[in-house]
Amino acid sequence: MVRRLPVIQSKDSDDALAESRPTWHWILIGAGFAITIWLPLAAVANWAAARLPLGPMPIIVSFALACFAAGILVGRFGGKSKAREAGLGGLVGAAVTWGVAALGGALTPWPLAVASLVVLAACAFILAWLGGRFGVRLRSRLDHTGA
């Protein structure tokens, strides 16, 4: 006779917790994802920008990649959230990043500050939204396969 140990299952799984979380939480979580993913990428981009005469392009590309990755994470694990919340999370992340740069004095002429905010916000929203769509598709595909 084979003895088996009883399995203790929690009623509140991680998926149930994510499902019960309000969607505005996922906007803030997406902003946090975007910033924390971008920080190491920005260090590499700064190094590349110092070696190659590309101007601010490596920084912009690294932030775009971070927003896309954050959108994927929000779309995949966001419970009820969709691509809209992922895009708004990228937008909030862009606003926080821009605010830190402004407080640091990096945006001294006001036309530069406005132009950088517009580029950063548009880039962040669009790419986080696209990442969110990809993440939602990934979530639905994995839910259908039972993985």
pLDDT reported for residue 49? 92
In a domain, 32, yes or no: yes
Average pLDDT over residues 101-123: 91
Q: Phi/psi class of residue 130: alpha, beta or left (left: φ > 0; alpha: ψ in -120 to 50)?
A: alpha
In a domain, 13, yes or no: no
List, for residues 12-64, the tens digit of each pLDDT value: 566 677 778 899 999 999 999 999 999 999 999 999 999 998 888 999 999 99
pLDDT reported for residue 123? 94
pLDDT reported for residue 113? 92
pTM confidence score: 0.85
In a domain, 125, yes or no: yes
In a domain, 18, yes or no: no
pLDDT reported for residue 26? 95
Average pLDDT over residues 2-17: 65
In a domain, 128, yes or no: yes
- Whether residue 2 has pLDDT greater than 90: no
In a domain, 8, yes or no: no
In a domain, 56, yes or no: yes
Tokens (6 digits) for 22:
């309000």
Q: Range of 77's domain? A: 24-145
In a domain, 133, yes or no: yes
Average pLDDT over residues 53-81: 93
In the chain, the number of structural domains is 1
- DSSP string over the chain: ----PPPP--SS-HHHHHHHS-HHHHHHHHHHHHHHHHHHHHHHHHHHHHHSS-TTHHHHHHHHHHHHHHHHHHHHH-TT--HHHHHHHHHHHHHHHHHHHHHTT---SHHHHHHHHHHHHHHHHHHHHHHHHHHHHHHHHHHHHT-
